[in-house]
Structure 1
């Protein structure tokens, strides 16, 4: 087969025209040369023509890509029409198609949103028919994936006002999918987009408290963490009683880290701190979590929360001391992560200097000014308290050092004499 030579026109427009005709002629000859479907790349004369040769497979690929785009757009237009003007059965079928079409890539999800598919899908979420509601939620989850604009359009279309009120009637799968959609929308919390949290928070808390699935609980906890990062949302969160749920879930190792992270966001507010102080499991529950050696992040978060509670309340410091926090802090200060060690040693310093230390801005989190740590009634009481604290520190240090020595299979016979002969002033904090 002889290949025609490319022309060499002087004018640029003419050059472009002849190039297009030249490539079209090459494609036509290749298709005629290889009529079978499984054709091989055509062999042409090794003459330079100024561009790569086009194979049969490449020609087929371009053709299939164009056909795929046309088929996708045709299917989308049909689904959009049914979604807007069809019967309920057609709307359900369209929502099912929307879910499949939206799974492909972000660009196509944006195209779907531009065609106005989000408002009718949001309207279906408020349907009393469970199957219809489920299809709409599934389609919206795919449309929200990776698209800030689509999430904002859902909120503007009123998705938060369409959320179901009765979570107990939903199946666990429906709760999980609804929690997944709420998590996606909660990503708007830290943006400039105005997200009304008065509806999304109660719904998320309701799903959290009614769910029996760890996966659903983790989705809800992630949503609450996103929302709690905005301090203005703290009053709404606390008014739902979420602190009780969070402290309960923090004692479960699978959900502890996300629960503690949310509590860490809430405790910096006066309302959150008060709610934690009034919780009957605080501080004992947090102290227990600090013994989880396999969960260093949980130890760090617990130490942070306890630092804030101890800094603000002498009553909480007394409760912590009675619950045996000093021994736990010593162990964390010796075996914990670098951040947990730092926080544990700071807490130990506060307990050690309870009588005479004045806490300045450097002595505790999120405070400015000087606050008295203790208020002894007399010098006699102060001295007695000092002796008691020194005794506690020595006993706790001895027990922890003995535990560490046993773990290392060392000899603990000389350890007791070493610890008893040392004073509290020699502690590394």
Structure 2
């Protein structure tokens, strides 16, 4: 008969591990509950404290708003009725306030601060001029209405006549102000011929002490002026074309000077000024050889294209100046836009070389040249001779271009391409 065995007691190590795990679980649960309760408490505190903070900020904003209104009222009164010293203090206060935000600048303009500041620009005291200009720059920032008010208040007639006393800082500030308000010229009624802006800007551009940044601001101002058709006519008759042609050969000012010339060329006055200038077309043809400045090439080709389209005399001058090889080079190696313009001009030269039995297919200038009667045999011989001349010219110029671009290499493929093609292969 077997004796029943007593149940085994759990090992002491197993009991300890079970107790430790249970204790650790409850400890973590307690920490989690405490953390959750703390978050709820913080949220309640935020809800309670938030109205108090809002009230504090609101009171501070109201106090600040009241302060600047008081300062502005005092400054406006001083600008209109104060002495020169009081006007200068008021202008300084307005300049500080205008830097802060756009609504304040608009409010200042509504209170009439712009006309007295414009009057200060006409002062003979340079320090007073600079302070007024600096304040107007801040007021013009971001507000087209303020810019228009400045033009209507006569800022362009208040520019200093004695420009020799202006230093570089003063010229730079005037250039910045004119650039800032130039966007309002198109929508303002003012006479460009009666204002001092053209001689003033030209003086800054000619000054040896002017920095590149100052000259760039002046050229941008002239570009904005030339974008308006009426202003472009006044600019063209003011003698600025010759000055722009001189600036166009300088790399730092070439691009904007050419862009202004492009705007002037579309007017009859601008076209005549360019045609009568002794630097045209040689200066523009030279710029078209600037391979490293594709934008200048495009703008120069644009001006030449307009002149060539309207005047057969200009096309003759261009041909004598050696434009054909340059056009061929640009048509092969220039930017897509420069290539298109160069090919268009080449097409007009090719058409003029053909027989003049009637109006040519190129640009019409309103006159039809009537030629004397010729027999068919002479016409055929002339065509053959013209094709031979064009082939030879293409071969020589392409060889020169190939050597310049790739060095001395084998040009046999290029030669066969030229010989197998004719002048009719040009797309324009």
- Determine helix, strand or coil for the equivalent of 1:127: coil
1:33 aligned residue: none
In structure 1, runs of 5+ residues without a counterpart are: 1-41
1:425 aligned residue: 424
- 1:46–1:286: structure 2 CA closer, same or farther, 3 Å change rule? closer
2:399 aligned residue: 398
Which structure's CA Rg is the greater one? Answer: 2
* Structure 1 Cα separation of the partners of residues 228 and 259 of structure 2: 13
Aligned-pair distance for 1:63? 4.0
Give the one of 119, 124, 133 matched to 2:120: 124
Q: CA RMSD in A?
A: 3.2
| Number of positions where the alignment pairs a residue of Structure 1 with one of Structure 2 | 378
1:305 aligned residue: 303
1:174 aligned residue: 170
Give the one of 247, 252, 255 matched to 2:253: 255
- Structure 2 counterparts to residues 320-331 of structure 1, below 5 A: 320-331=318-329
* Structure 1 Cα separation of the partners of residues 221 and 323 of structure 2: 31
Give the one of 241, 244, 256 matched to 2:242: 244
* Structure 2 Cα separation of the partners of residues 218 and 190 of structure 1: 20
Aligned-pair distance for 1:343? 0.7
1:344 aligned residue: 342
What is the TM-score with the length of structure 2 in the denominator? Answer: 0.78
* Structure 1 Cα separation of the partners of residues 272 and 141 of structure 2: 37
Aligned-pair distance for 1:347? 0.8
- 1:375–1:277: structure 2 CA closer, same or farther, 3 Å change rule? farther
Aligned-pair distance for 1:388? 4.5
In structure 2, runs of 5+ residues without a counterpart are: 1-38
Alpha carbons 2:151, 2:184 under 8 Å: kept: no
* Structure 2 Cα separation of the partners of residues 107 and 68 of structure 1: 15
Deviates more, 1:115-124 or 1:414-423: 414-423
Deviations 1:123-157 (A, max 9, x none): 11111111111100111111112212112222232
2:21 aligned residue: none
Alpha carbons 2:289, 2:297 under 8 Å: kept: yes
- 1:393–1:351: structure 2 CA closer, same or farther, 3 Å change rule? farther
- 1:122–1:46: structure 2 CA closer, same or farther, 3 Å change rule? closer
What is the TM-score with the length of structure 1 in the denominator? Answer: 0.78
2:262 aligned residue: 264
- 1:52–1:421: structure 2 CA closer, same or farther, 3 Å change rule? farther
2:224 aligned residue: 226
- 1:334–1:405: structure 2 CA closer, same or farther, 3 Å change rule? same
- 1:55–1:345: structure 2 CA closer, same or farther, 3 Å change rule? same
Alpha carbons 2:237, 2:270 under 8 Å: kept: no
Asked if residue 194 in structure 1 is aligned to residue 180 in structure 2, the reply is: no
Aligned-pair distance for 1:85? 2.8
Give the one of 93, 96, 100 matched to 1:97: 93
Give the one of 88, 99, 119 matched to 2:84: 88
Alpha carbons 1:326, 1:393 under 8 Å: kept: no
Deviations 1:333-368 (A, max 9, x none): 1222222111111011111221337456xx55xx7x
Deviations 1:225-254 (A, max 9, x none): 111112222332123210011001111111
Deviations 1:290-321 (A, max 9, x none): 12223222111111110111122223222222
Aligned-pair distance for 1:322? 2.6
- 1:235–1:416: structure 2 CA closer, same or farther, 3 Å change rule? same
Alpha carbons 2:329, 2:401 under 8 Å: kept: yes
- 1:277–1:391: structure 2 CA closer, same or farther, 3 Å change rule? farther
Give the one of 105, 108, 133 matched to 1:109: 105
